[in-house]
Amino acid sequence: MIENYIPILIVLTIGAIFAIVTVSTSVIFGPQRPNSEKLSTYESGMKPVGTTHERISIKYYLVAMLFIIFDLEVIFVYPWAVEFKRLLGEIGISVFYSMLIFLVVLELGYLYVFKKGGFKWD
Amino acid sequence: MFNNAQEFFNTLPLIIMGGGIVISLLIEIYSDKNKVILPWFTALLFLAVGLHSLFYTNDVSIVMQNMLATGGNVNIFYAIFTLGAAVVTLISIDYIKKYDMYFGEYYLILQTSVLGMMLMAAAKDLFVIFLGLELMSISFYILAGMNRKRAKANEASLKYFLLGSFATGFIVYGIALIYGSAHTTSIDFITTNFAGLTSNLLFVAGVLLFLIGFSFKIAAFPFHMWVPDVYEGSSTTVAALFSTGGKSAAFSAIIASLFALFNGPSGNVFTPYFAVISVLSMFYGSIVAIAQVNIKRMLAYSSISHAGYLIIGLAAGNHDAIAGVMFYLGAYTFMNLGAFGIVSLVEGKNETNLDINSYAGLASKKPFLAALLSILMFSLAGVPPFAGFFGKYYIFIAAIESKLTWLAILGVISSAISAYFYIRIVVLMYFKPATNDFQIETSNSAMLGIITSVIIVILLGIFPGSFLDLITRFI
């Protein structure tokens, strides 16, 4: 039982050694010429100054919510598509129609968002 | 999905409801007259589903790969939910105009919440209960904050959301433990093997967590703190739905999932839990309601104490008690809807006339409305000719059958205490001079809803046997 985990232990050890070696070599051998730009926190190009609770436009939340809905759709459809042929043999054509009903209901939601202007940015 | 046409026909209440939601969505986005069409479409949809379910109660079957039950008590619960929601729709129509908060989505979300309740009542699998519960609860969180210009409504919505999600967490944890000990989520398996499973501590812990989560949803005492704030903050019509539909749905889920608990007079592991929270809820609700000056808060505490009476039925745990609980839920739904309906009518713009004292002298200005409210208050207090009395009567009798006489006695004492604050409204309306000029906007649809509920309350009070026979046939 416990010996099954030995490969994982080896991977962990190699990972730790690799991290230590690379970081320490760059610290020991690399040239060190610090300036204020280099010492400041790296924030993906944003200025790391100011309050953390900045106001963010509500539109981003809307996009994120709509994204989640369609993301979930894919999550449901994917395993169904992979197992479709087997299920078709076992259960019959109702497998196809169940998914069709689900997709129609979901697309109606899409239509609702579209009609209400959920995709308009301005 | 369905093995034959009969099974499809038996599932029709759920299918009509789901199809109705889709059609409402199309009406909302495509019709210019949706302000007129949508409310009436919603009311008719609820009425159609309710009458269909009442008419076909004999079609008992299990459909969708043992996931849903149809017919029998499930259909009676459908009828309670949908007819109650129809009354809510009727009282909403003019209330929404008064507060200038029309959204077509209001009616859509009302429908989805009722679909969630129906799924909870029909469930034959713990996952279906969870699905229905979430569909109902999430719709409720949105409905609570529907009047989004009011700070209090936003507060109510957020509070309900946070506490409700926490309670749902208990239910999920309970389901996980039940699954861990029973190796299945099928309710039939749990019911048949219940005696053996209760020797497993993990299973008992799971059921206890499940019950705690649902105690929150039915607003029983230690889990009640959200109730007054949410009822006060959200619109009156929506609060009416929370206190009736939400409570009935949670009771239907408890009865459906733990039916094994209610098979005999001998009592079981969970009887002490039910007994303790029922006594606490009854007395806490009745006593604290006396101190309230806001009528919506008073009705909220009254809702807590009614949850206590209903839980006596669960503690008694025999078939008569379950029939009593269902009768009481039907009666309570309509008397509470009527009371909230009248509150929503008397309530002026900007939440005036919500103080109890503003009801003084209503009888001299609006005698008909005052008479209706008196009938509802007497029924809530449990005065004989009305439905509320028989609900309590059946539950107390069942408790005595199960050798829980002390619980029945405490229930009667609590009813006597609660009579004080119900009758106080009647006294204020009839025997105090009017200090208020009651600028009540007439609303025919709301009056239709209120009068219907009052008629149902009176009919259930005069002919309690016919409804009780319908219920006991399927237990």
pLDDT digits (tens, 9 = 90+) for B333-350: 999 999 999 999 988 887
Give the pLDDT band of residue A121 (cuts 50, 70, 90).
confident
More confidently predicted of A43 and A92:
A92
Domain boundaries, chain B: 263-475
Residues A98, B1: C-beta atoms closer than 8 Å = yes
Average pLDDT value for residue range A41-64: 77
Q: Is the pLDDT of residue A48 over 70?
A: no
Kindly write down the DSSP assignment for every residue of B335-373, as one continuous string. HHHHHHHHHHHH--GGGTT-BGGGGTTHHHH-HHHHHHH
Give the pLDDT band of residue A21 (cuts 50, 70, 90).
very high
Supply the pLDDT for residue B1.
Answer: 65
Average pLDDT value for residue range B369-374: 93
Using the Cβ of B29 and the Cβ atoms of chain A, whether some distance falls under 8 Å is answered with: yes
Residues B305, B410: contact at Cβ < 8 Å? no
**What's the pLDDT tens digit per position in B19-28?**
999 999 999 9
Asked which of B38-47, B227-236, B360-369, B373-382 is least confident by mean pLDDT, the reply is B360-369
Q: Is the pLDDT of residue B228 over 90?
A: yes
DSSP one-letter code for B244: I
Residues B414, B302: contact at Cβ < 8 Å? no
Give the pLDDT band of residue A119 (cuts 50, 70, 90).
confident
Average pLDDT value for residue range B209-218: 92
Q: Is the pLDDT of residue B475 over 80?
A: no
Q: Is the pLDDT of residue A100 over 80?
A: yes
Residues B209, B170: contact at Cβ < 8 Å? yes
d(C-alpha B252, C-alpha B249), whole Å: 5
Average pLDDT value for residue range B53-74: 88
E strand or H helix at B68: strand B68-70
Supply the pLDDT for residue B197.
Answer: 86
Q: Is the pLDDT of residue B179 over 90?
A: yes
CA–CA min distance B387, chain A (Å) = 41
- Strands, E, within B82-184: which ranges? none
Q: Is the pLDDT of residue B270 over 90?
A: no
Structure-token match 């053996």, residue found: B196
Question: Which of B1, B28, B29 comes nearest A94 by C-beta?
Answer: B1
Average pLDDT value for residue range A54-71: 84
Residues B25, A108: C-beta atoms closer than 8 Å = yes
Q: Is the pLDDT of residue B264 over 80?
A: no
Average pLDDT value for residue range B156-160: 93
B32 CB neighbours in chain A (<8 A) are none
Nearest residue in chain B measured CA to CA from A99: B1
CA atoms within 13 Å, Cβ hemisphere of B206 = 24
d(C-alpha B306, C-alpha B221), whole Å: 11
